[in-house]
């Protein structure tokens, strides 16, 4: 049974500031928990309703049974799941950048977009995602849910991406509206691919570091593509 303080504490982790203080984030659902248990993430607590409890039989983590009413109070989902976990955050990290394509996200604001981009990156084997500091926090519960667990296999880093792009001397591809036809470009064997803000695109201070501006050619009248959709098309071509 959860106390009022327990409920209040779990609810507080939906706020970025509190997540930063506690160094924890919320993960909901059997699929995401399954991915976490196979990863190097450390789970602090698991809360589950009786419908979920019979399923795990080898978990070493402390599982606390709660009622459906209590789950409704702590869940961030419109339809609460049967299990919710409090997970320890990891320090920002990225692996070797050479001989691989790395994503750079410039001011992505929508949690669903970021979560989907992380999932797409995982699908295409992209190991590193670099985010400007104004990109939505990837520990946001909506981001975590949208990844469907892919975040456990992708390194996500926040900071001065301009410095990263400049110092590593790798090719830089940028998704812009007036670049070269994507489908006339050869495969991108290594480097960075910049995806800009949903409304403003890539900010001006990053444009000079782009070696290869690329555009997804259109046939219809749409003004632009959703950032996650564009990422999927670009990675599909670059990794073909």
> Of the candidates 88, 111, 144, which is a domain's last residue?
88
Coil, strand, or helix at residue 137?
A: coil
Question: Which residue range(s) make up the domain with 177?
Answer: 101-238
**140-188 per-position pLDDT tens digit:** 999 999 999 999 999 999 999 999 999 998 999 999 999 999 999 777 8
Are 165 and 230 in a shared domain? yes
Q: Identify the CA nearest to 168 among candidates 104, 82, 74, 81.
A: 104
Are 38 and 80 in a shared domain? yes
Are 80 and 114 in a shared domain? no
Q: Is residue 121 in a domain?
A: yes
Q: Is residue 32 in a domain?
A: yes
Are 52 and 167 in a shared domain? no
Average pLDDT in the 67-89 region?
A: 95
- pLDDT of 57 > 80? The answer is no
Total-model pTM: 0.94
Q: Is residue 96 in a domain?
A: no
What pLDDT is attached to residue 59?
56
Q: Tokens representing 85?
A: 């976990």
Identify the band that residue 53 occupies on the pLDDT scale cut at 50, 70 and 90: confident
What pLDDT is attached to residue 46?
94
Q: What is the mean pLDDT of the chain?
A: 93
Are 227 and 110 in a shared domain? yes
Are 140 and 211 in a shared domain? yes
Domain count, the chain: 2
Helix 111-123, helix 227-238: angle, nearest 10: 10
Residue 63 to residue 69: CA distance in whole angstroms: 17
Are 28 and 112 in a shared domain? no
CATH for 230: 3.40.1280.10
Q: How many CB atoms lie within 10 A of CB 189?
A: 12
Q: Is residue 59 in a domain?
A: yes
Q: Tokens representing 90?
A: 């990891």
**6-49 per-position pLDDT tens digit:** 999 999 999 999 999 999 999 999 999 999 999 999 999 999 99
Are 73 and 160 in a shared domain? no
Are 106 and 66 in a shared domain? no
């Amino acid at each position: 049974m959860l106390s009022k303080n327990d409920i209040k504490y779990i609810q507080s982790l939906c706020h970025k500031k509190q997540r930063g203080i506690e160094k924890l984030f919320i993960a909901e659902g059997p699929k995401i928990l399954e991915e976490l248990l196979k990863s190097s993430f450390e789970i602090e607590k698991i809360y589950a309703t009786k419908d979920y409890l019979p399923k795990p039989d080898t978990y070493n983590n402390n599982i606390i049974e709660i009622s459906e009413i209590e789950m409704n109070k702590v869940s961030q989902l419109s339809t609460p799941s049967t299990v919710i976990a409090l997970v320890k955050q990891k320090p920002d990290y990225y692996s070797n950048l050479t001989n691989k394509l790395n994503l750079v996200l410039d001011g992505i604001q929508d949690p669903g977009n970021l979560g989907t981009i992380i999932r797409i990156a995982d699908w295409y084997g992209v190991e590193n995602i670099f985010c400007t500091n104004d990109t939505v926090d990837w520990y946001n519960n909506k981001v975590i849910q949208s990844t469907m667990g892919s975040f456990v296999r992708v390194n996500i880093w926040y900071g001065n991406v301009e410095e990263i792009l400049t110092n590593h001397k790798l090719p830089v591809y940028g998704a812009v509206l007036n670049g070269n036809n994507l489908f006339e470009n050869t495969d991108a064997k290594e480097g960075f691919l910049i995806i800009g803000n949903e409304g403003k695109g890539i900010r001006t201070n990053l444009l000079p570091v782009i070696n290869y501006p690329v555009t997804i050619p259109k046939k219809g009248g749409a003004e632009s593509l959703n950032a996650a959709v564009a990422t999927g098309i670009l990675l599909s071509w670059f990794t073909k």
